[in-house]
Amino acid sequence: MIRVAFFDTKAYDRPSFERYGGESDIRFRFLETKLNEDTVELARGCDAVCVFVNDSVNAAVIEKLHEFGIRLVALRSAGYNNVDVHAAFGKVHVVHVPAYSPYAVAEHAIALLLTSVRRIHKAYNRTRDFNFSLNGLTGFDFHGKTVGVIGTGKIGRIFIDICRGFGMKVIAYDLFPAADSGIEYVSLDELLARSDVISLHCPLTDETRHMIGGSAIEKMKKGVVIVNTSRGGLIDAEALLEGIVARKIGAACLDVYEEEADIFFEDRSGHILNDELLSRLISMPNVIVTSHQAFLTEEALNNIAETTVANIRSCFENDGLCDNELCYRCGHIERCKNERREKCF
């Protein structure tokens, strides 16, 4: 029996995980709390921990997991910026779900964009109140506009395909441009200067943190629409607010926020939000915030559960070997699949 401490459990997690793993060789200990230095004790007695985007798997937590004899951190996400993979080296395996539904995220980015540009959220509220006025609801055609896509991996590519369907001109920036993809790659500066819409689909790394800050915003077109369904830390939220107040940024669609960890995923209505910046952003008429919801489709939840359970089994049945293991050692965190020696263990 593999005992798994399942942190940050939400109501929507349990059915899929119970379906794929709960009745078999895996026993989940479902915990509502997030994993951090204060809660790591709850994992004692387990063989693995299963975590999501706002659990904090830092060096101190990893040290404790190692001390408890826990051999595996199984991420229920693709992104792994919340795990200190350097510290994990030689102590604990780290596996993730590389792709569960890139469509879910790309489609959510489009949903935010359409909602914002065509003012659907405002129209919905108005007509519910029998207010049928169109004043202030003018949008713009997507057709013929230039969309700049930062990060052309799984999600970015699907986003690009959808944008092409609208008749948009697509330009992109990626550290590793995809050869023969037919995508027009440009420098980041050129993308910032030419785009009517900018959508972020790259991971959060030391290099990409605050890539959208004051100086990047200065280079953008007036009225630009920014979409972020990737990670909050890609945007300097203070600079974003300044750009909005200065009327430089036309609209912002945010599914993620740098300081989301203690705010998102919970019902905080009736409470005073202890985050002035987020409160101000939400109060802006041209900002839409969703609460890290882009992944949330039936298909994605099933794929997350199926892959995570397979990752856990693979690690315990194959002496730590798992295709979806992240490895710091070789410097190609996700690309060291066949080199057993180059894995964390």
Cα(285)–Cα(273) distance, rounded to whole angstroms?
18
Cα(198)–Cα(17) distance, rounded to whole angstroms?
35
Any catalytic annotation for residue 207? no
Residue 66 CB, nearest approach to ligand NAI (Å): 26
Exactly one of 260, 268, 271, 335 is catalytic; name it: 260
Given 152, 303, 308, 311, the residue binding ligand NAI (CB under 6 A):
152
Residue 153 contacts ligand NAI per CB under 6 A: yes
Residues between 295 and 324 that touch ligand NAI (CB under 6 A): 295
Exactly one of 108, 231, 258, 325 is catalytic; name it: 231
Which listed range, 33-41, 122-130, 203-211, 323-331, lies at the site for ligand NAI (CB under 6 A)?
A: 203-211
Residue 148 contacts ligand NAI per CB under 6 A: no
Residues between 163 and 182 that touch ligand NAI (CB under 6 A): 173-176
Residue 100 CB, nearest approach to ligand NAI (Å): 8
Residue 156 contacts ligand NAI per CB under 6 A: yes
Strands (E), the chain: 2-6, 26-30, 48-51, 72-75, 93-95, 146-150, 169-173, 184-185, 197-200, 224-228, 249-254, 287-289
Number of residues this chain uses to bind ligand NAI (CB under 6 A): 30
Residue 177 CB, nearest approach to ligand NAI (Å): 8
Given 115, 116, 195, 208, the residue binding ligand NAI (CB under 6 A):
208
Any catalytic annotation for residue 218? no
Candidates 132, 317, 236; CA nearest to 226 is 236
Cβ–Cβ under 8 Å, residues 51 and 340: no
Residue 151 contacts ligand NAI per CB under 6 A: yes
Residues between 264 and 293 that touch ligand NAI (CB under 6 A): 292
Given 149, 231, 249, 252, the residue binding ligand NAI (CB under 6 A):
231
Residue 280 CB, nearest approach to ligand NAI (Å): 22
Any catalytic annotation for residue 231? yes
**DSSP per residue, 290-317:** --S-TT-SHHHHHHHHHHHHHHHHHHHH
Cα(271)–Cα(38) distance, rounded to whole angstroms?
24
**Token pair of 55, please?**
């659990």
Q: What are φ and ψ of residue 281, in 5° steps? A: -60, -45
Site string for ligand NAI, 76-115 (x = CB under 6 A): --xx-------------------x--x--x----------
Tally of CA atoms within 13 A in the half-sphere of 329 that contains its CB: 18
HEC states along 55-70? CCECHHHHHHHHHCCC
Residues in the chain: 345
Candidates 326, 311, 321, 345; CA nearest to 4 is 311
One-letter identity of residue 89: F
Q: Which residues are catalytic?
A: 231, 260, 292
Residues within the interface to ligand NAI (CB under 6 A): 78-79, 99, 102, 105, 150-156, 173-176, 201-204, 207-208, 229-231, 255-256, 292, 294-295
